[in-house]
Amino acid sequence: MAEASTRKYLAIGIVATSIVGIVAIAAVAIATAGRSRAETTRLVFSSVLPLLGTWVGTVLAFYFARENLQAATESTLRLAGVGETATPVTQVMIPEADFIAYDLGTGESAGSVKLADLHAKMREITPPSRRLPVRTPAGAVLYVIHDSTLTAYAESVHQSTPSLDKTLGDLLASEDFKKLVEAIAFVPEKATIADARTAMTSIENCNDVFLTASGRRDERAIGWLTNTLLAGVQ
């Protein structure tokens, strides 16, 4: 606290002293210019204003850059789990009751689901959901469809996202897109935030972690942690 206070007063003192000093020098130069006052005034202002701007800009950049760097560092450390306490995921997860998901009907194949229907499901709420789990009738998560994935796939087949006439099976036929929608991590019911972060980073392109009874993929998902949710957890 003392160090922060010292920096604050030092910055204020430097800026204030600089402004007063520059204004005083400029005033003296203009006052003693005699007949060439107009030319001197132009020279003074063309020299003083950039100098003053540099002083103020340097101080502002120091404070704002420092705070932005600190915030970015803290966010990165939280996402990586550095210094993480043993907070249970159950305290911060999205509970199953709050999932916005596409649930397959009995006997319905995931591959037969129309991508346009998935897109419409994501827009049933306000604001629209940006990701959508696809679940079995038993509640196990098979895939997570992100709006960015749908957009990229639509562009790859030269269509618009709302009017896609392709199915999830068509998307899964592309190995690159299949990897994206299958990039899901699972943790058991007693997992901690650190466990969830470790599980997420262990899978390439993973942005979603689901909580199941014992951490198996074929079990009912009872909780959900997104990358943005984990990044915001202290």
Average pLDDT over residues 191-220: 95
Q: Tell me the pLDDT band of 66, cut-offs 50, 70 and 90.
A: low
Query: For residue 127, is the peptide bond before it cis, meaning its omega torsion is within 30 degrees of 0?
Result: yes
> What domains can you pick out in the chain, each with its CATH number?
2-80 (no CATH), 89-231 (3.10.580.10)
pLDDT at 125: 80
Residue 69 confidence class, pLDDT cut points 50, 70, 90: low
pLDDT band at 129 (very low <50, low <70, confident <90, very high): confident
Question: Mean pLDDT across the stretch 174-190?
Answer: 96
> In the predicted model, is pLDDT for residue 12 greater than 80?
no
